[in-house]
Amino acid sequence: MKKEELIAQLKVIIKPYTTNTEAFDNLTEDTDFINDLSINSANLVDIVLDIEETFNIIIEDTDMQRMLDVKTAVEIIETKLSEK
């Protein structure tokens, strides 16, 4: 899967959890979930569950803890997909 495609899918997942639409519209790899998108930290748990379901992968707790921005999320998803 291409990176752009992956980010597009990630955007669909993230959308309901963000309250900052401007930052969401201008989302890049450097976008931070909490600081830029104003996502409630508790909702990161839900985002991980949604990612697992969409990509049919399992994300370990250690990966989850560092998954705080788009770049890291993409890296983790790519690694998990390549392991399949």
Partner 1 sequence: MRKRVVITGLGITAPNGVGIPAFTHSIKNGVSGIRHDAQLEELQFSCQIAGQPDISDELKSEYFTELELRGFNSTGILYGVIAGIEAWKNAGLSIENNEDPDWDSGTIFGSGTSGIDKFRESIYKIDELQVRRLGSTVVAQTMNSGVSAYLGGKLGLGNQVTTNSSACATGTEAILMAYDRIQSGQAKRILAGSTGDSGPYIWGGFDALRVCSSKYNDNPEQGSRPMSASAAGFVPGSGAGALVIEDLESAIERGATIYAEILGGNVNSGGQRGNGSMTAPNSTAVQQCITNALINSEISANEIDAINGHLTATTKDSLEIENWTKALGRSRNDFPYINSLKSMTGHCLSAAGSIESIAAILQLHEGFIFGNINCDDLHPEITALIDPLKVPQKTIYIQPNIIAKASFGFGDVNACIIFKKFQK
Residues 6+ apart with CB under 8 A from 15: 24
Residue 46 or 78 having the CB closest to partner 1: 46
Given 49, 54, 79, 81, the residue binding partner 1 (CB under 8 A): 49
SS3 10: helix
Torsional sign, CA 28, 57, 84, 65 = positive
- The region of 1-9, 20-28, 38-46, 66-74 touching partner 1 under the rule CB under 8 A is 38-46
Number of residues that bind partner 1 (CB under 8 A): 8
Give the footprint of partner 1 on this chain (CB under 8 A).
Answer: 16-17, 42-43, 45-46, 49, 61
